């Protein structure tokens, strides 16, 4: 018997990126909280969860917000482990830190799906949006990212799509994480003489 409230899969989604790129604002926008121009940095990882319906499955997203300031990154990196999806958030006018963040994720959670998330699209001119969209394909290939999404926490542009896109990856994630049933071959260990 299945319960109406039963969760089919739980996915850990982590937001990483430099301080001030808008990770916390993206989460607030996803939960439809009013936009606040908050300059206070996140100093410790925090989490919340949401349930997304995907193809008759209920997917719980455990969403982790991490600190972007360098002095707090060692603590934040502990929370990267066991992540299924990472949103590498960055200011589209400053793409120089993307590689650094992708490498940190790949080190701590090598099987994690990476999304490149350009934030603050509301402050870009149409010319800058066109430019970043041209860069998107190259960046996605370079960093072996699942997708590139242009977002704005202020206007809500791309925010719902971002989180729903992550939830739609559940078959890929849970198929990849299913343990293989390969027989183990046991061989006696050879002991070396010490003298």
Residue 182 confidence (pLDDT): 36
Helix (H) / strand (E) element for 92: namely: none
| DSSP conformation class of 69 | S
Give the C-alpha separation, 35 to 138, whole Å: 31
pLDDT confidence of residue 104 = 92
Res 100: pLDDT: 92
Query: Residue 126: in which H helix or E strand, if any?
Result: helix 126-142
The tens digit of pLDDT for each residue in 123-135 reads: 999 999 999 999 9
- Cα dist. 61→38, 73, 120 in Å? 24, 22, 23
pLDDT in tens, 66-111: 865 554 455 556 778 899 999 999 999 889 999 999 999 999 999 9
pLDDT for 80 equals: 85
Q: Which has the higher per-residue pLDDT, 134 or 3?
A: 134
Second-level CATH architecture of 9-175: 3-Layer(aba) Sandwich (3.40)
Q: Give the per-residue pLDDT at 15.
A: 94
Question: Is pLDDT above 50 for 179?
Answer: no
For the residues 50-65, what does the mean pLDDT come to? Answer: 93
pLDDT tens for residues 12-51?
999 999 988 999 899 999 998 765 666 655 544 567 899 9
Question: What is the value of pTM for the model shown?
Answer: 0.81
pLDDT at position 126:
95
């Amino acid at each position: 018997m299945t319960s109406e409230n039963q969760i089919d899969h739980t996915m850990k989604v982590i937001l990483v990126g430099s301080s001030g790129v808008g990770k916390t604002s993206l989460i607030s926008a996803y939960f439809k909280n009013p936009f606040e121009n908050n300059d206070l940095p996140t100093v410790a990882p925090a989490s919340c969860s949401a349930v997304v319906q995907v193809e008759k499955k209920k997917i719980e997203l455990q969403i982790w917000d991490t600190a972007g300031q360098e002095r707090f990154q060692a603590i934040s990196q502990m929370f990267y482990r066991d992540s299924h999806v990472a949103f590498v958030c960055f200011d589209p006018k400053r793409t120089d830190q993307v590689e650094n963040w992708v490498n940190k994720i790949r080190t701590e959670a090598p099987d994690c799906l990476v999304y490149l998330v350009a934030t603050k699209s509301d402050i870009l001119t149409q010319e800058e949006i066109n430019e970043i969209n041209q860069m998107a394909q190259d960046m996605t290939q370079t960093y072996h990212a699942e997708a590139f999404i242009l977002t704005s926490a202020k206007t809500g542009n791309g925010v719902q799509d971002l989180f729903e896109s992550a939830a739609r990856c559940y078959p890929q994630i849970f198929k990849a994480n299913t343990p293989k049933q390969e027989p183990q071959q046991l061989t006696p260990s050879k002991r070396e003489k010490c003298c």
